[in-house]
Structure 1
């Protein structure tokens, strides 16, 4: 029952992030024996019995209603991604999980990634953070994906375990947290994916940072932001990135990096393209 075990760990992690004062409860007196909210405090906030919540956290509940999950999500102040993750863990019977099939990138999407421009790194990210397609500048920026075996084209494995790639990302803590968040959501969508399970086991074994963050049950989707690079060819610079989800396959997204026109970062991208 992997979902039930993950559900308990996820709820405990979310409880640990909140203190009673933050949610409008009295701090109480004496030494608290738990970090964050107690089970009875969360049950009070969610308007459910303590016994029911304890059974839910221990994986001893049957079907859980949407109203109860909504109340727990609100009490824990979950983000949209965390709320979705909670639903997947608490109601696995409604997921109708199927063995994952190999992902294919449509020719039109592959063509788009190739054609976005000589100064625009772009790649398609699939399940498990597998790299499914890329353009030349993405290879120049990160690594030569074409030289890797398909099984090695995994962004999480590269940024966490490959020394040459990991040195590109100065914000190590952010990289680890984002990798964990993506893979946690993927596990919620595909709990029976043996390749995903093997990847997580491998990362936990070889990356203490990943193993520590994995225990926190962080969940997040890739969206947009700024990423810092320290490249051996052109040095340090920042790029904006956008994540564009495939309308017919939410397990595929296009990551596109860009720099403001006329900026030093744009000049470095052009230099990187010229020297690649």
Structure 2
């Protein structure tokens, strides 16, 4: 799992002195971005304190200090939230086995109300499929049993499928774009649930088994994932262009209802075909 110091360093490396309003007078520099003492000065903290903070040797920082660091590091809103999450995690180290994820009845009722015309999935905090409708299953994981999403021991993991399953990779025509988003969102999730041992194990597994995941994780990018394009190459109905939209579930923190709407008439026709095919199985 990521540390506060590791995130601070990765963000410090990407801010040039010029971007921070500093003059370097052409002197050679050993670091790609700001030096620790430069960042500390701009944020209004002592260099010694910031160094201890980055090295994990200081107590967690106050909200005011974190906001000052975020300002100098030019973090966006999501990155700033992640910074605060990591600081809270530093105050309560250690991992524990999380309780089973249980869907709120209202989430299942909403999924059932959608029917099968619109592909939909409900994802847990680690990206496990907690439920899906027939078309959601048909569009993304027809090579897996439909019942797998409802089996606590064998639920499909979207991150594992995305980085470790060749069929899932071939399905996505914009895999590179979506892979970056997947990793950036997983980093945000890791900050929100810092003691989740299963989440830490998932990140470790993907880092060890996928060079591409490891390279993306090393960038330090963090982002939310709420809406965007998805271009598919489906084995049965061919090219599909859909937009994914995420609906957060206040009754189930960490759970996300994702629905996929067609971007063009050809995709709408293909989704109707998938719905008819799924009804026959």
- TM-score for the superposition, normalised by structure 1: 0.90
Structure 1 position 147, deviation (Å): 5.1
Structure 1 counterpart of 2:207, from 204, 225, 228 = 204
Structure 1 position 106, deviation (Å): 2.2
CA RMSD of superposed structures (Å): 2.3
Q: How does 1:1-276 map to 2 (within 5 A)?
A: 6-92=3-89, 93=91, 99-143=97-141, 144=144, 146=146, 148=148, 150-260=153-263, 263-276=265-278
Structure 1 position 27, deviation (Å): 4.3
Distance 1:123 1:50 in 2: 48
Q: Is the 8 A contact 1:63 1:91 kept in 2?
A: yes
Distance 1:207 1:275 in 2: 34
Q: Mark the runs of 5 or more structure 1 residues left unpaired by the alignment.
A: none
Q: Is the 8 A contact 2:104 2:252 kept in 1?
A: no
- Please give the per-residue CA displacement for 1:208-246, whole angstroms capped at 9, x wherever unaligned: 010111122222222111111111112222211111111
Distance 2:45 2:169 in 1: 45
Distance 1:9 1:145 in 2: 40
Q: Is the 8 A contact 1:13 1:216 kept in 2?
A: yes
Q: Is the 8 A contact 1:159 1:175 kept in 2?
A: no
Distance 1:116 1:204 in 2: 36
Distance 1:37 1:163 in 2: 40
Structure 1 position 160, deviation (Å): 0.9
Distance 1:266 1:52 in 2: 57
Distance 1:207 1:121 in 2: 28
Distance 2:43 2:61 in 1: 14
* SS of alignment partner, residue 23 of structure 1: coil
- Please give the per-residue CA displacement for 1:91-117, whole angstroms capped at 9, x wherever unaligned: 333799875211111233213213314
Distance 1:236 1:42 in 2: 48
Q: Is the 8 A contact 2:44 2:68 kept in 1?
A: yes
Q: Mark the runs of 5 or more structure 2 residues left unpaired by the alignment.
A: none
* SS of alignment partner, residue 253 of structure 2: strand
* SS of alignment partner, residue 22 of structure 1: coil
Structure 1 position 253, deviation (Å): 1.0
Q: Is the 8 A contact 1:114 1:136 kept in 2?
A: no
Residues 12 and 266 of structure 1: CA distance in aligned 2, closer, same or farther (over 3 Å): same
